[in-house]
């Protein structure tokens, strides 16, 4: 087993990933605070934290700082941030629980599938559909957290519409992961 150096653990990309994980309880706490100010702050914090996913991956590749710890923590942080935020939005914004079950269930299934694939020395890379799903999830969750009207735009309604798109992309991309896996197993 590879022993991680202090430099690998404390690298900037891994630090950003750890910040993403540590921000989750703060986001959840702020989400239930009353008042428009808290909604704005929470939405901006969620968005900023979600964007660190792009930044940490870019820095890790650009600076040749990809680590085993980062490969494990980065997708875990993403799934924790999205799943806990969606689950909290069920009571906080009354989003339908079954949509959350579909999206979170897909994440669990794909994570399990990837684990099986790795045990078979297969790599199933993230698809473009999966990346689009994540973008729609982040935007929809941000809008649902904000939950207000600005310039006659009802952010809750727009957020719910985008959440439906996210769910559709989750189902399609999840199916695509399983299809790719089965094609490699059978081939």
Residue 148: is it exposed, middle or buried by C-beta count within 10 angstroms (0-12/13-18/19+)? middle
Give the pLDDT of residue 116. 85
Percent of the chain with pLDDT over 90: 53
The angle subtended at Cα 46 by Cα 44 and Cα 52, nearest 5°, is 105
The pLDDT score that the predictor gives to residue 64 is 74
CATH number at residue 22: 1.20.120.1760
Q: Report how far Cα 23 is from the mean position of its chain's Cα atoms.
A: 13
Q: Is 1 a domain residue?
A: no
Backbone angles phi, psi at 158, to 5 degrees: -65, -45
Tokens at residue 113, please?
């599938």
Count of structural domains, the chain = 1
- pLDDT confidence of residue 1: 45
**pLDDT tens profile 46-55:** 999 999 888 8
Residue in 76, 177, 89, 71 with CA at minimum distance from that of residue 137: 89
Phi-psi region of 39 (alpha: psi -120 to 50; beta: other; left: phi over 0): alpha
Contact 116, 102 (CB under 8 A): no
Quote the CA–CA distance of 93 and 71 in Å, as a whole number.
33
Alpha-carbon dihedral 50, 160, 40, 94, rounded to 10 degrees: -110
Task: Name, in order, each residue with C-beta under 8 angstroms of 84's C-beta and a sequence gap of 6 or more.
Answer: 24, 27, 28
Scan for tokens 């959840």, then name that residue: 28
Residue with tokens 């904000």: 146
Whether residue 49 is contained in a domain is answered as yes
First to last CA, the chain: 31
Per-residue model confidence as pLDDT tens digits over 15-42 = 788 889 999 999 999 999 999 999 999 9
Degrees (nearest 5) of the Cα angle 171, 95, 47?
80
Residue 31 lies in a domain: yes
In a domain, residue 159? The reply is yes
What are the structure tokens assigned to 53, written together? 């996913």
pLDDT reported for residue 75? 80
**pLDDT in single tens digits along all 187 residues of the chain:** 455 455 555 677 787 888 899 999 999 999 999 999 999 999 999 999 999 888 877 777 777 767 766 667 788 889 999 999 999 999 999 999 999 999 999 999 998 888 888 788 887 777 889 889 999 999 999 999 998 777 788 999 999 999 999 999 999 999 998 988 888 877 6
pLDDT of residue 115: 81
Domain encompassing residue 54: 6-186
| pLDDT for res 7 | 52
């Amino acid at each position: 087993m590879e022993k991680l150096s202090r430099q690998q653990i404390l690298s900037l990309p891994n630090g950003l990933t750890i910040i993403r994980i540590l921000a989750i309880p703060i986001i959840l706490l702020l989400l239930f605070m009353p008042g428009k100010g808290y909604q704005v702050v929470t939405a901006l914090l969620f968005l900023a934290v979600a964007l660190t996913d792009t930044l940490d991956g870019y820095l890790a590749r650009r600076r040749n700082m990809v680590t085993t710890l980062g490969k494990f923590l980065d997708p875990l942080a993403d799934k924790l941030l999205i799943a806990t935020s969606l689950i909290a939005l069920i009571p906080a914004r009354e989003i339908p629980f079954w949509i959350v079950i579909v999206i979170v269930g897909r994440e669990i299934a794909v994570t399990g599938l990837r684990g099986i694939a790795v045990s078979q020395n297969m790599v199933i890379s993230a698809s473009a559909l999966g990346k689009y799903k994540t973008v729609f999830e982040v935007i929809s969750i941000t809008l649902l957290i904000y939950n207000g009207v600005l310039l006659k735009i009802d952010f809750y309604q727009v957020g719910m519409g985008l959440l439906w798109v996210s769910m559709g992309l989750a189902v399609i991309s999840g199916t695509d992961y399983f299809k790719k896996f089965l094609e490699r197993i059978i081939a």
